[in-house]
């Protein structure tokens, strides 16, 4: 099993180009199942989850042509469309459930394995299924598979989600594009990745209109047009590199990325002492000599609070701050799994329910570590970057699911990192 060897401490300097967004690419790729015409998707990140989704589309009968650099795919339909999404392809990727909506919209039936992905707690798909029933879908769960049918097709209606869910919002938007009549979805997630999905669908002729901050209206159409579309930059990767620069008193230019997508996180880094300049598609960040503590940071739905996908990275930063800091995790119940590993490096972190109390001023000492999920893995990489001595990070397959060529990008900006078999 592959691992990373990192020799710290390192100072980050240079420029890094941000890859396409994994969390934007996955729902857009799932939505290609709605089309009977060719769709070209550009700026895909070369990460494991994208490979898994493309293999899932192939298993469902799509013809997938991948460019030499693997960043562009052309997807077209074959005569052999299927409706069965197997466990073997769904077990490692939460986003696999996003094929359920388009399969029901196109073919009126689907069989999908319950999805996998990072172990972040329950993350139930009930919210997807209950919302789909309001669109005319009937379903049963048999031996780990969702067996769903929409005998009369998807029927437009009004739905209010009981809680904000990115995945459910995406699934229902996709399903509603070919519905009979008008669908209004309330209490929607409005993350940039959701907006990227709706921009993609609108470009293909879907009639989608945001009629309130968290309310979207979709008027069903009979079919969608052939298009070429480039996905947005990955805001979690961009945020991670910004934190890395701040952590190491570095000087880094973040290229190929719109700063407004992580404005909340940039504001927090400024409070921590970072010097940040933003341009149209670039961020220039200089880390402070002394990091300031931050209190009452909370993860919550976009756009008002810290993204849960950057919580672990911010925790590493605050371990080095002067004074005590707190982070409250409001999205996932199992998202402090990295804390035990950070303690192995010397961190002093107390967990009370969903709140982490972080004692600052930690001088990390290199150690052998174990990754537990995608974002926790990258937090350990950041910590090892400033630790004294060698660190080994095991189970880096989590990182390969979501970060494109991360060790190559880190090497270019000054991190002493090797991938070991």
Q: Dihedral (C-alpha) 134, 137, 138, 139: value to the nearest 10 degrees?
A: -110
Nearest of 269, 273, 295 to residue 359 by alpha carbon: 295
Q: Token pair 């907006």 is at which residue? A: 195
Give yes or no for a contact between 44 and 281, defined as CB atoms under 8 angstroms apart.
no
Largest Cα span, the chain: 64
d(CA 420, CA 3): 5
d(CA 413, CA 421): 23
Give me the active site residues, please. 118
Residues ≥6 apart with Cβ < 8 Å to 247:
287, 291, 316, 317, 320, 382, 385, 386
Report phi then psi at 185, rounded to 5.
Answer: -110, 125
Strands 282-286 and 251-255: antiparallel
CB atoms within 10 A of CB 392: 15
d(CA 44, CA 93): 17
Element (H, E) at 375: helix 374-386
Q: Where are the alpha helices (DSSP H) in 124-262?
A: 126-133, 166-176, 192-203, 235-247
Q: At what angle do helices 22-31 and 192-203 cross, to 10 degrees?
A: 30
Distances (CA, A) of 281 to 133, 160, 175, 300: 42, 35, 33, 26
Reduced to 3 states (helix: H, G, I; strand: E, B; else coil), residue 27 is helix
CB atoms within 10 A of CB 31: 28
Element (H, E) at 318: helix 311-319
Residue 157: burial class (beta carbons within 10 Å; 0-12, 13-18, 19+): middle
């Amino acid at each position: 099993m592959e691992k990373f060897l990192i020799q710290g401490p390192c100072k980050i300097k240079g420029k890094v180009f941000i890859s396409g967004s994994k969390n934007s690419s996955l729902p857009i790729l799932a939505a290609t199942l709605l089309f009977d015409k060719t769709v070209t998707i550009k700026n895909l990140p070369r990460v494991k989850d994208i490979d898994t989704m493309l293999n899932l589309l192939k298993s469902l009968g799509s013809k997938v042509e991948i460019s030499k650099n693997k960043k562009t795919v052309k997807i077209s339909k074959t005569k052999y469309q299927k409706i069965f999404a197997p466990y073997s392809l769904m077990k490692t990727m939460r986003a696999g459930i996003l094929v359920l909506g388009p399969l029901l919209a196109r073919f009126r039936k689907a069989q999908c394995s319950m999805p996998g992905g990072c172990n972040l707690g329950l993350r139930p798909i009930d919210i997807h299924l209950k919302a789909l029933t309001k669109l005319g879908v009937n379903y049963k769960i048999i031996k780990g598979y969702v067996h769903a049918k929409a005998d009369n097709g998807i029927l437009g209606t009004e739905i209010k989600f009981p809680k904000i869910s990115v995945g459910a919002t995406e699934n229902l938007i996709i399903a509603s594009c070919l519905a009979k009549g008008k669908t209004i979805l309330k209490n929607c997630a409005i993350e940039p990745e959701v907006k990227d999905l709706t921009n993609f669908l609108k470009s293909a002729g879907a009639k989608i209109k945001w009629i309130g901050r968290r309310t979207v209206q979709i008027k069903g159409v009979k079919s969608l047009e052939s298009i070429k579309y480039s996905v947005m930059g990955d805001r979690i990767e961009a945020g991670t590199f910004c934190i890395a620069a701040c952590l190491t008193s570095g000087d880094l230019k973040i290229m190929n990325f719109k700063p407004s997508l992580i404005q909340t996180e940039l504001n927090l880094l400024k409070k921590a002492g970072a010097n940040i300049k933003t341009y149209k598609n670039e961020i220039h960040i200089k880390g402070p000599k002394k990091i300031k503590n931050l209190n009452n940071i909370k993860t919550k739905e976009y756009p008002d609070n810290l993204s849960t996908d950057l919580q672990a990275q911010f925790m590493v930063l605050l371990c080095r701050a002067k004074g005590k800091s707190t982070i409250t995790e409001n999205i996932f119940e199992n998202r402090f799994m990295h804390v035990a590993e950070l303690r192995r490096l010397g961190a002093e972190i107390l967990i009370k329910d969903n709140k982490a109390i972080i004692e600052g001023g930690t001088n990390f000492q290199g150690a052998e570590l174990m990754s537990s999920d995608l974002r926790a893995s990258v937090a350990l990489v950041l910590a090892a970057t400033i630790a004294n001595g060698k660190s080994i990070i095991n189970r880096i397959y989590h990182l390969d699911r979501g970060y494109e060529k991360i060790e190559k990008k880190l090497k270019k900006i000054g991190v002493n990192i090797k991938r070991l078999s």
